[in-house]
Amino acid sequence: MRILMTGHLGQLAADLKGVFAGDELILTEMEDLRLEDAGRVREFVQASAPELVVNCAAYNRVDEAEDAPEAAFAANTFAVRNLALAARECGAEMVHFSTDYVFDGPGRRPYTEEDAPCPGSVYGVSKAAGEMMLQATWERHYICRVCGLYGYAGSRDKGSNFVETMLKLGAKGQPLKVVDDQILTPTSTLTVARAVKNLIGTGRHGLYHMTCEGECSWYEFAQAIFAGAGMDVEVTPVGSEAYPTKARRPRYSVLENRRLREAGLGEMPDWRAALREYLSGRAVVSR
């Protein structure tokens, strides 16, 4: 299969390149192809003639988006539409990644694909709008909502990911404080990449939640990281007010993978199992 992948230097794209290693990959980054330029995107996609477009490009700087909504919407909404239009014109399927940040309601049950988005930040609104742009533009799409991503390549925009940040801080031997009132499902990029490849094989287009199973707070996640790494680190649970941020973080954004099961793809791994796999593979990757 001939695959065009945008944002190929990110942590999710790194694992997607691995699972699609046997395919013909056309790799681009924001510096190579300005996705907000509709004309240029159309020309590039036509020349590339992909069978599948995988969009990993995004504006993920959540706090900065509060003061730069134009940049967030350019990358997370209008760039998605430009890619969708170009994919439609050449008949290519399209994979696009969204986020648990499209939800920030008062409930305490996992959100399904049928639940209406209720974002509480500019970033979340821009990602929800990107979903709707794609849904309104090209029917042959897979929208994959993910949550709490971490991968060996780290996060390009943020410089790292939560697992690597905790391991680095824990190695200093100092006590840590981690919020315990934000509940999510940590998800490794490798588990997402595997699920994406399986999903494409079904040809069942639409919106999918794609996270590991289970839920925890960031505090519980940190505890599991240190336990898995065999590190004795003092971690104290604190409320979100201890770390004020410009953008509101969802207090509960656990996603239920209902449509993946309906597609016959079974369960994603439990978040603790995915974390164990990640930690056991770090030494191999760092060689």
User: What does DSSP say about strands 183-184 and 235-238: parallel, antiparallel, or unpaired?
Assistant: unpaired
CB 179 within 8 A of CB 217: yes
Angle between helices 38-48 and 79-90 (to 10 degrees): 40
φ, ψ of residue 113 in degrees (nearest 5): -65, -20
R_g over Cα of the chain = 18
Catalytic residue IDs: 123
CA distances to 10, 212, 247 from 133, rounded to whole Å, are 23, 26, 23
CA 209 to CA 128: how far, in whole Å? 13
Q: HEC profile for 190-245?
A: HHHHHHHHHHHCCCCCEEEECCCECCEEHHHHHHHHHHHCCCCCCEEEECHHHCCC
Tokens of 9: 């230097």
What's the distance, CA 181 to chain centroid? 21
List, in order, residues 6 or more apart from 286 with CB less than 8 Å away.
none
Tokens of 163: 């697992």
Tokens of 96: 């696009």
